[in-house]
Amino acid sequence: MGKRSFFTKMLAGSMTTMLVIGSLSGCGSSKAAGKPAEEITVTFMNQDETLGTVTGTAGEALDKATYEAYEQADGAEFNGWFETPSFVEASKKDPSTDTFDKDTTLYGDFRAEAAAEDTRHWYIAGTSTKGSLQVNNWAADLSDEEKAEFELVPTGVNANEFSLTIDLFEGDQFQVIHDWSWDGQKGFGKFTDIDETQMKNAGGLGGTDDTANVEVVVDGNYTITLITNPDNQAQDTLSIVRNSDPVATEEVSE
């Protein structure tokens, strides 16, 4: 066989191989290109009320015109959509720019212009080895006078705003409760403003961050402030701020 004939056959074989590979590649691309986009449903809520749903495409933002009517509520100001019903800031979404890969429920934060008056009494309940929470002992059976030491009282600054300034010590654990009852307790996950270098999540029996104990990391004199909306407790805000070193000069005796 001559050299020219040998090289001609090699070239023909190579071209055939390339055509086969190209054909297979082309088939794959065509199949991928022809795959239908996944349809998803976004549900819009106001507390337990379903405002409506919008059908969209996975990975694509929604047209604002399809849901903006859900952002209107009589006597309330709209403050955004959230993936969590407790309006955790990290879960805030803008459906006109954010995208979703699966069916999603969004909760609207509607702030009432005038909330009902909160007539409940709010307290800190917890435990301590050397501070006043040692007496508290997780809302033990105390007299009204003894309970008053742990009560968050109305500030008069904002409607339904309550606060308590108290010395807390490393290792103390606490939550916030109303009417000396554990119904509706507010644990670590309910704090909307908390310094995690000073406080940490100590867990608890409830199984969720919302009912987890707050544990003190740094001794100090702290102010706890609670603003409530009895019509929608998801809108309650709870903060704790360190003012200084502990003010009390004597520890609670054993």
| pLDDT of the residue at 35 | 66
- The mean pLDDT value for 118-125 works out to 97
Higher pLDDT, 235 or 54: 54
Do 78 and 163 sit in the same domain of this protein? no
| pLDDT of the residue at 170 | 98
Residue 50: inside a domain? yes
What is the span of the domain harbouring residue 234?
A: 122-244
Do 202 and 140 sit in the same domain of this protein? yes
Is 196 buried (19+), middle (13-18) or exposed (0-12) by CB count in 10 A?
exposed
Amino acid found at 46: N
| pLDDT of the residue at 235 | 84
pLDDT tens string 66-94:
999 999 988 888 999 999 887 878 899 99
Do 157 and 64 sit in the same domain of this protein? no
Do 199 and 238 sit in the same domain of this protein? yes
Residue 33: inside a domain? no
117-148 core/surface letters (b: 16 or more CB in 10 A; e: else): ebeebbbbbbbbebbbbbebeebeebeeeebe
Whether residue 100 is predicted with pLDDT greater than 80 in this model: the reply is: yes
Do 62 and 158 sit in the same domain of this protein? no
| pLDDT of the residue at 33 | 55
Q: Domain count for the chain, please give it.
A: 2
pLDDT tens string 179-219:
999 999 999 999 989 999 999 999 987 778 999 999 999 99
Question: What CATH number has the domain bearing residue 129?
Answer: 2.60.40.3620
Do 99 and 129 sit in the same domain of this protein? no
